Structure 1
């Protein structure tokens, strides 16, 4: 399949998993940087190939065949991120950008070799789950956004759901990394801000950040 087709089904899959985006053609167009007309045209073509279900004015839904394709692309993307991070200690933004290119040039054989080399990881450096070779995500996501946490409790960062360079630069500079522990010291509900403590530093975050940083409560 072409890069455009793989990116299209991947965008539907990712938007379908997001709380902030639906999968109508207009949103997929925005995600991919194409026109609404181009997105609608692609949707109709992929419906003929039994990759998606298309109905006018409705959200796009992946078929079983389309979901399998999307998860295969997602697997390769996240495995490349894990490998680049391990070998070169590249920034989270840079590994995402490079993986966007490499995912389309990677055979299933190479993806399996990368997975074996890394010890068959279940998560990438952003905390996103890595599908296995059968296109299955075998982990259970119990994380919540930082904006929904409780004051006085400690949490472990489980996902950083963004591809924005400035966001990742900020996270890196302040120790907001997958696996690190944060203490939620104050929730300013009326202002939609959260005060946290990490590495002996106090940081005040607005909802733009706290809605895409996901955590699990520390045992």
Structure 2
């Protein structure tokens, strides 16, 4: 499959599973930076290949075949992120950018070799789950948005759901990374802001950040 097809399938998967956006062709077009007409044409083409279901004015839904393809692309992307992070200590934005290119040039054979070299990791450096070679995500996600946490409780950062460079630069500067512990010290509900303590520093985050930082409570 072409890079354009793989990106289209992956965009539908990500919108449906993670981004909270609907999967109508217009939204997929916006995500990929293409015209609405081009997205509609691509959707019709992929529907003819049994990769998705297309109905005019309705959301796009991946078929079983399409979902398997999406998970295979996601697996390769997240394995590359994990490898680049381990070998070169690249930033979270840098590994995402490079993995976007490498995922399309990677055979299943190489993906399995990378996974084995890394010890078959379950998560990438962003905290996103890595599908196994059968296209299955075997981990259970019980994380919640930082915006939904309670003041006075401690949490572990489980996921940073973004591809924005400034967001990752901010997180790196303040130690906000997968696996780190934070204390929620206050929730300013009216102003939609969350105050946290990490590494003896106090940080005030707005909803744009706290909705894409996911955590698990420490019991």
TM-score interval, smaller chain: over 0.9
Deviations 1:151-187 (A, max 9, x none): 1000000000000000000000000000000000000
1:1-219 correspondence runs (5 A): 1-219=1-219
For residues 213 and 42 of structure 1, what CA distance do their matches in structure 2 show? 32
- Give, in angstroms, the shift of residue 18 of structure 1: 2.4
* Root mean square deviation, CA, Å: 0.5
Name the SS of the counterpart of 1:18 in structure 2. Answer: helix
TM-score when scaled to structure 1?
Answer: 0.99
Shift of 1:198: 0.2
| Partner Cα distance (1:129, 1:22) in 2 | 22
Structure 1 residue 20 displacement after superposition: 2.7
Aligned residue for 1:100, secondary structure, equals helix
What number of residue pairs does the alignment pair up?
Answer: 219
Change (3 A) 1:19 1:100: closer
Hey, what's the Cα distance between the residues in 1 that align with 2:25 and 2:181? Answer: 38
The CA deviation at 1:32 is: 0.5
1 CA distance for matches of 2:18 and 2:129?
14
TM-score normalized with structure 2 length? 0.99
Tell me, which stretches of 5 or more residues in structure 1 are unaligned? none
Distance in structure 2 (CA, Å) of the matches to 1:19 and 1:134:
24
Give, in whole Å, the separation in 2 of the partners of 1:188 and 1:17.
28
Deviation at 1:126, TM superposition (A): 0.2
Q: Alpha-carbon deviation of 1:19?
A: 4.9
